[in-house]
Structure 1
């Protein structure tokens, strides 16, 4: 792997321990609201074409109400060291799991929407302690997994202009505060844009950037594209026509949306579960691609932290900067999961990124760390192992 880096020594007093401890009254309120759901009508046999089917959602809500256990999931999260620190006026919640390997490489991993730090729970062990998972201890990482301001226990934000570039600057400060001078970055969805931007903010600090679900906006000249890239460019048109409604709402009127999602847990559930069905390598229902409890924990976190609106605001704040990216010279790796919402056009990606690694995955979709944690871990390790030449 890359040259060993300085072990992190947190700045005294700036970082405070954190444990998730939701009040029972909040859980009781959730159950009460689920019991009192006013269900909408639905067209018979419409399937998923018009949105989440009522028959499916009723069954899922019944499980959420009677079979799902937040406390066990809360305990699972609390098994990892968590912290809070204030950066640029916002509280930032993060997991910081040190590897037992002394030469481990620091790695900051960033989620997207509608995800959270919970996406990464299955990859923390193999990344921090590969020796215990049958891997090479030279492939170990110290992992830092922050909640984006406005998401989960980092939310809600309390002022405007928290776009993804400001988040990247906050991550640079976070890693500085933790004592890491050289490190890698990894992410998907918003985590992809934030990780890439981090390489523009502090390029001298970044060993490399590994991205899954990395969007490449259709702004280049398509005339010279090969067949695969033309097909992937077409996927953008399909996305714009069929599945981009959430972008239109969240990037224009997130506050109006917030009233519905913040008041109805079933509304919040439907808004997110639809994406788990559409963006994963699923067959019929999202649980065929991701664990049902894991998915519900992610949704429950949005509900319990009341961050539907503040998480959506990231779209509004960032809309002006989406296609205004500067070229990056940090070595970058792409992991392309075939059932993601859109797939990157390599010819366009190479105009902006210093791509030294590109993997076409055999399966999986948008939520790679939840769907295919072994594939993702192996690709992250392979990518950073290859950087000794750079």
Structure 2
């Protein structure tokens, strides 16, 4: 009997975990839009009982994301924040977690305002600096939570380096892989224990749904995550599961095209007389460029930049036409965001200043439009 061939990433993304619906043969996996499932008799089940516990459409997207990440287990949640919340449920009062200081404002809020009062201790540190990690590990430290590249300053964390430190102290390494996706980066292969995603972003890819995922190879972690999921009910709905499945089919194509555009936009911004500084991992002068080349196969499509004249921020946001001034990222449309009042509004001013999240900073999520249209749009907005 022939051994099952291990499929390449692109093929798995297109076909999904099962490849088709085994019940009907449907190539597009069906939306099982049902709350409950009929039992044949006492102690007889189809394997599905109630959609909060499991649903065939959600199961397919969970297994697909897990497969793409090289993981054994995956769990789907209603949002990325819900996925991070599930991970934090692994810890108890008195536990200490080291957290990337430069990260999504919603994650910052979870640590500081939701779990902090319940006794889960944390320190926001520069996880891109391994010495900073070493110096902040305490006796009660249980985990290290990192974003890489980080949001919005695009810091790159040496995942291998963090993993080596974690093994010495028996710490759990959690990586938010939203920006690069498993197409460009696989943290579990680098030794991380848990990967989280805002599936709303690149996995879905069309700015039309909300989703979150937790993937792991650790059975005990999966069991705890599953228990939390069924107990709190922040599960991914069938229709949203289907939208993510549909988005994943083109993930590799979108990631390549948006990265191709991002490199050109970064080069344009770098040379523009009104731009003070550009933060893009794919620029050779970026501090994390070499580390990124070692641990990832691409640089992604997220760019932050600072203008020389702060007054230009409002002009750019008002005058872009092709690029949309909107929160979020990872869709086919290019979006521009003002972290100061949007994604990072609730982060204290002193922390934002230390990180460089200042009033002259803008963030771009580059889409798949024609590159000439994007550059001309930026050029026009900057010149107005």
Per the normalisation by structure 2, the TM-score is 0.32
Which is bigger in relative contact order (C-alpha 8 A, separation at least 6)?
A: 1
Q: Give 1 or 2: higher helix fraction.
A: 1
